[in-house]
A and B are shown apart, each in its own frame.
Chain A
Amino acid sequence: AQSVTQPDIHITVSEGASLELRCNYSYGATPYLFWYVQSPGQGLQLLLKYFSGDTLVQGIKGFEAEFKRSQSSFNLRKPSVHWSDAAEYFCAVGETYNTNAGKSTFGDGTTLTVKP
């Protein structure tokens, strides 16, 4: 069965510092890969996605992620964090074997706190 691991439950960074959120997955093939952000009491907003092609993916709000097949990882990065980035971040894997991108397995999330 597929699984997603986000090793860091909580990360604190200073405003303006760089950020990397880790995501490792287990899947029998190359999956669809997603990063979502969730603010308290809100729904999920898609930051970026990987389906195929270039392994470095650019997203909204200045985020990027790199798919590394050899490490089964899809880490999220941002060069300079803003206070408004404080939220919970979820990595997710969608099914490719039946091209079902909408059926995803989510990690447990990483809560980002931004210090002024």
Chain B
Amino acid sequence: NAGVMQNPRHLVRRRGQEARLRCSPMKGHSHVYWYRQLPEEGLKFMVYLQKENIIDESGMPKERFSAEFPKEGPSILRIQQVVRGDSAAYFCASSPQSNTEAFFGQGTRLTVV
């Protein structure tokens, strides 16, 4: 059973471009969580999704950020018009149910130049 797969592992974008980060949860997992880790900091919750539904987006910035988890395919975290402050590691985690621990992917490290 493969773990949580995130791609790309590293992404470089110029200011103003769009960044699309993908997350394929573990097989059988229908709950997906996105976290952001700024340099020298812990992880900060961004959004919690189940298939085709956003359950909790209380940690998402109000503008430029969006997330989806379609019926088919990976979950996508989309950042429009990136700025230098978006440079961070973005982690995805998945779980089979809401009351079990989530398993983390290796992360996508976004650098905005």
A residues neighboring B (CB under 8 Å): 4, 32, 34, 36, 41-46, 49, 90, 92, 94, 98-109
Contacts and interface: CB of A to CB of B under 8 A. Distances in A.
B100 A101 contact: yes
Contact of B43 (A46, A90, A100): A90
B42 interface: yes
A61 B80 CA distance: 41
B91 A44 contact: yes
B43 A106 contact: yes
Nearest to A104: B45
A94 B91 contact: no
**Helix, strand, loop or mixed for chain B's interface?**
strand
A90 B42 CA distance: 7
B87 interface: no
B44 interface: yes
**Helix, strand, loop or mixed for chain A's interface?**
strand
5 contacts: A45-B104, A90-B42, A100-B48, A106-B43, A109-B42
A41 B35 CA distance: 15
A90 B101 CA distance: 15
Nearest to B93: A102
Given A43-B91, A43-B106, A101 B101 contact: yes
Contacts of B44: 106
A42 B107 CA distance: 7
B42 to A, nearest CB: 4
Contacts of B53: none
A32 B102 CA distance: 12
Contacts of B42: 4, 90, 106-109
A35 to B, nearest CB: 11
Contacts of B93: 102
A105 B45 contact: yes
